[in-house]
């Protein structure tokens, strides 16, 4: 269970570099067993998964006007996604934990998610004979805002259409944080031009466009979880190779929008309504030793069972409609962008760029 929580925190460290030690976090969580650890990790990290989904789908557009052929725009922006109050805690008794994992204090079952407060909740892990193996303290919240950077290049194509590329090569943030990479593609088309051609601006003094974009973010972190002190394999069927332990995550986001804007000299306000989805695939890969009981009654030596790939979270984290308001400011070759989006999670996006 503690392991699930650690998985979440580690994902957070990817962008936030929290002070929590990733290795210790993973080691403690895995001891609750694969099924319970997965449920705990999912409950604790759910706001992070949703925040990533909203962040991946933000910042694609700040105007409905498309670029002319060979026109381009290079921008760097960042989004801040805010976790609502409803997603700042979860109830340990309502996430389907087994009888082997219980709140240490039956009166304290509400635990913070990654976006919660500083309160702490303890759980106790028992073996199948109802012997307590360990008491673990679940992590407290470490953030209320989830950041998401975007670097994108947009180029004009034919027929009032433009294409956008988002790309970040794999970048390592150190052994306690891991590495991250991302890639994305998008298209935008000015639909007014299809009906009125060059006279569109005279008939309707606005730009109206449709757009769609897909982004994928990958995350990797090597971890090192060894057997508890003096613990021996439960039997000779247990693997003792723990050399390839890691956390792997993949987040996919899809965003479609209808955008309307009006250029006023160097200032272009816009509004949009859109649909977005995101899918999360996070797992703890490799062999992990989990203390599951006692293998020598006389010496009372702890025994461990080796579990392969003990945590796997696959879900659609976001499936929502959003509305956005913002602007683009053009000063010669330079661009300034800002936007606000309302949905289940609210977010803001701002950035700078240059182009023709």
Question: Which tens digit of pLDDT belongs to each residue from 46-102?
Answer: 998 899 899 989 999 999 999 999 899 999 998 999 999 999 999 999 999 888 888
pLDDT band at 5 (very low <50, low <70, confident <90, very high): very low
If one counts every other C-beta atom within 10 angstroms of the C-beta of residue 46, the result is 21
What's residue 299's pLDDT? 59
Q: What backbone torsions phi and psi does residue 11 show, to the nearest 5 degrees?
A: -60, -40
Q: How many residues does the chain have?
A: 356
Percent share of the chain, pLDDT over 70: 85
Question: Which tens digit of pLDDT belongs to each residue from 153-185?
Answer: 999 999 899 999 998 888 776 666 678 888 999
Calculate the dihedral angle through the C-alpha atoms of 185, 191, 197, 199, rounding to the nearest 10 degrees: -120
DSSP string, 216-232: EEEEEEE----PPTT-E
CA atoms within 13 A on the CB side of 16: 24
């Amino acid at each position: 269970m503690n392991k699930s929580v650690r998985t979440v925190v580690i994902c957070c460290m990817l962008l936030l570099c929290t002070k929590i030690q990733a290795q210790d976090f993973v080691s403690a969580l895995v001891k609750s067993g694969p099924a319970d650890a997965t449920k705990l990790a999912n409950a604790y990290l759910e706001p992070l998964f949703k925040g990533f989904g909203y962040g991946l789908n933000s910042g694609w557009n700040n105007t409905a006007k498309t670029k002319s052929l060979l026109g381009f725009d290079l921008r760097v922006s960042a989004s801040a996604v805010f976790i609502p109050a409803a997603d700042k805690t979860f109830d340990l008794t309502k996430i389907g934990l087994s009888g082997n994992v219980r709140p240490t204090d039956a009166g304290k079952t509400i635990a913070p998610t990654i976006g919660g407060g500083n309160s702490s909740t303890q759980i106790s892990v028992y073996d199948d004979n109802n012997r307590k193996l360990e008491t673990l303290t679940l992590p407290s919240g470490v953030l209320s805002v989830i950041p998401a950077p975007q670097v994108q290049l947009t180029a004009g194509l034919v027929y009032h259409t433009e294409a956008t590329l988002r790309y970040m090569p794999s970048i390592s943030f150190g052994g306690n944080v891991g590495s991250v990479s991302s890639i994305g593609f998008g298209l935008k088309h000015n639909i007014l031009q299809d009906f009125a051609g060059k006279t569109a601006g005279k008939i309707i003094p606005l730009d109206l466009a449709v757009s769609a974009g897909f982004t994928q973010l990958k995350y990797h972190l090597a971890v090192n979880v060894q057997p508890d002190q003096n613990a021996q394999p439960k039997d000779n069927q247990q693997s003792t190779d723990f050399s390839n332990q890691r956390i792997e995550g993949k987040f996919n986001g899809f965003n479609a929008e209808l955008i309307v804007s009006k250029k006023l000299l160097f200032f272009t306000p816009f509004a949009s309504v859109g649909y977005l989805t995101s899918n999360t695939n996070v797992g703890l890969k490799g062999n992990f030793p989990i203390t599951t009981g006692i293998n020598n009654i006389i010496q009372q030596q702890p025994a461990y069972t080796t579990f392969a790939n003990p945590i796997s979270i696959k879900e659609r984290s976001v499936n929502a409609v959003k509305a956005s308001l913002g602007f683009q400011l053009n000063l010669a070759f330079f661009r300034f962008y800002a936007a606000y989006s309302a949905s289940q999670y609210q977010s803001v996006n701002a950035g700078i760029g240059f182009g023709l």
